[in-house]
């Protein structure tokens, strides 16, 4: 019974992580479409487009954190050797992605105080 509860919680956390990424993609796509319409009217949108890009990156980072948490919980349920190796590989890949996304977000002067 407890394993089923942990499995359901893990599934919910994974769904939340995926939903955060999808929501960020939808919001970012909406904003980019509006900015491109402004660009057709000969407006400069570079800084605004970069801001959208970096905000989308923050959605991706948050979603990845939820997905890592779900993977960890799944491994608690079934800690086989293969599951541990798979979890390790997933965490390493997602951590590397998170590191580089965070570094890029922190290096952008357009978003430091927004």
Query: 76-100: per-residue pLDDT in tens?
Result: 777 778 878 877 887 788 788 778 8
Amino acid 56: pLDDT = 92
| Any domain includes 58 | yes
Amino acid 17: pLDDT = 96
| Any domain includes 100 | yes
Q: What is the pLDDT of residues 12-39, one digit of tens each?
A: 999 999 999 999 999 999 999 999 888 8
| Any domain includes 114 | no
CB 66 within 8 A of CB 16: yes
- For residue 114, pLDDT over 70 is answered with no
| Residue ranges making up the domain that contains 53 | 2-107
Q: Is the pTM of this model over 0.85?
A: no
CA distance 58 to 21: 9
Amino acid 113: pLDDT = 46
Q: Pick from 15, 1, 14: which is nearest to 74 by CA?
A: 14
Amino acid 1: pLDDT = 63
| Any domain includes 113 | no
| Any domain includes 112 | no
Q: What is the pLDDT of residues 35-71, one digit of tens each?
A: 988 888 877 878 888 889 888 988 988 998 898 888 8
Q: How many domains does the chain have?
A: 1
Amino acid 79: pLDDT = 75
Amino acid 84: pLDDT = 80
Using CA atoms, how far residue 108 sits from 50, 80, 101, 111, 112, in Å, is 9, 42, 11, 6, 7
């Amino acid at each position: 019974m407890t394993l089923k509860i942990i499995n359901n919680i893990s599934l919910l956390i994974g769904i939340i992580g995926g939903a955060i990424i999808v929501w960020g993609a939808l919001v970012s796509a909406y904003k980019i479409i509006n900015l491109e319409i402004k660009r057709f009217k000969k407006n400069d949108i570079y800084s605004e487009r970069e801001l959208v890009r970096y905000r989308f990156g923050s959605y991706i980072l948050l979603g990845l954190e939820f997905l890592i948490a779900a993977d960890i919980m799944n491994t608690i349920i079934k800690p086989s050797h293969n599951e541990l190796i798979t979890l390790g590989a997933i965490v390493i890949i997602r951590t590397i992605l998170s590191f580089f996304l965070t570094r890029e977000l922190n290096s952008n002067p357009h978003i430091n105080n927004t």
